[in-house]
Amino acid sequence: MIYFDNSATTQILPGVLDTYNKVSQQIWGNPSSLHNFGEQAFNLLEQSRKQIADLLHVHADEIYFTSGGTEGDNWVIKGTAIEKREYGKHLITTSVEHAAVRNSMEQLKRLGYEITYLPVDDQGRISVADLKAAIRPDTTLVSIMAVNNEIGTIQPIKEAAELLKGYPKIHFHIDAVQGLGKGIQDLIFNDRVDFVAFSGHKFHAPRGTGFIYGRRGRRIAPLMNGGGQEKNQRSGTENLPGIAAMAKAIRLVLDKEPAAISEECQIKQLIIDHIAQFDKVVIFSKNDATFAPHILCFAIKGVRGETIVHAFEKYHIYISTTSACSSKDHDEAGTLNAMKVPENIATSAVRISLGDQNTLDEAKEFIKVFDQLYEEFDKLS
Query: What's the pLDDT tens digit per position in 24-57?
Result: 999 999 999 989 989 999 999 999 999 999 999 9
Cβ-based burial of 95 (10 A; exposed 0-12, middle 13-18, buried ≥19): middle
CATH class of the domain at 2-9+257-380: alpha beta
What tens digit of pLDDT does each residue of 63-100 get?
Answer: 999 999 999 999 999 999 999 999 999 999 999 999 99
**Sequence ranges of the chain with CATH classification 3.40.640.10:** 14-254
Q: What is the pLDDT of residue 380?
A: 75
pTM score of the predicted model: 0.94
Task: Tell me: pLDDT of 326 over 50.
Answer: no
Rounded mean pLDDT, 143-147: 98
**Percent of the chain whose pLDDT exceeds 70:** 97
The pLDDT mean for the chain works out to 95
Q: What pLDDT does 379 receive?
A: 80
pLDDT, tens digit, 9 for 90 and up, residues 221-258: 999 999 999 999 999 999 999 999 999 999 999 999 99
Q: Is 324 within 8 Å of 8 (Cβ atoms)?
A: yes
What's the 3-state SS for 64-103?
EEECCHHHHHHHHHHHHHHHCCCCCCEEEEECCCCHHHHH
Residue 323 pLDDT level (bands cut at 50, 70, 90): low
- Using the predicted structure, report yes or no on whether residue 332 has a pLDDT greater than 50: no
Provide the angle, in degrees to the nearest 10, between the axes of the packed helices 99-110 and 69-83.
Answer: 30
Taking a C-beta distance cutoff of 8 angstroms, is the pair 215, 188 a contact? Answer: no
Confirm if 234 and 66 have CB atoms less than 8 A apart: yes
CB 96, CB 145: distance < 8 Å: yes
pLDDT band at 378 (very low <50, low <70, confident <90, very high): confident
What is the per-residue pLDDT for 330?
44
- Region 14-20 average pLDDT: 98
Alpha-helical segments (H) within the chain: 14-26, 36-56, 69-83, 99-110, 128-134, 157-164, 185-188, 229-232, 240-255, 257-275, 305-313, 324-327, 334-338, 343-346, 360-380
List, by residue range, all CATH 3.90.1150.10 domains of the chain.
2-9+257-380
Least confident of 59-63, 143-147, 246-250, 376-380: 376-380
Asked whether 252 and 55 are in contact (CB, 8 A), the reply is no
Compute CA distances 161 → 79, 125, 142, 195, 291, whole Å: 20, 15, 10, 12, 19
Residue 155 has pLDDT above 60, yes or no: yes
Q: Check whether 324 has a pLDDT greater than 50.
A: no
Reported confidence tier of residue 343, pLDDT bands at 50, 70, 90: very high
In the chain, the amino acid numbered 15 is G
Q: Quick count: other Cβ atoms within 10 Å of Cβ 51?
A: 18
DSSP-assigned beta bridge partners for residue 318:
3
DSSP 8-state assignment for residue 115: E
CATH code of the domain occupying 14-254:
3.40.640.10
Short-list 178, 242, 224, CA closest to 75: 224
Confidence category of residue 15, pLDDT binned at 50, 70, 90: very high
pLDDT in tens, 173-223: 999 999 999 999 999 999 999 999 999 999 999 999 999 999 999 999 999
The confidence score (pLDDT) of residue 322 equals 78
The catalytic position among 55, 135, 325, 367 is 325
Asked about 325 being catalytic, the answer comes back as yes
Q: Is the pLDDT of residue 281 over 80?
A: yes
Give me the count of residues in the chain.
381
Question: 114 forms bridges with which residues in the sheet?
Answer: 90
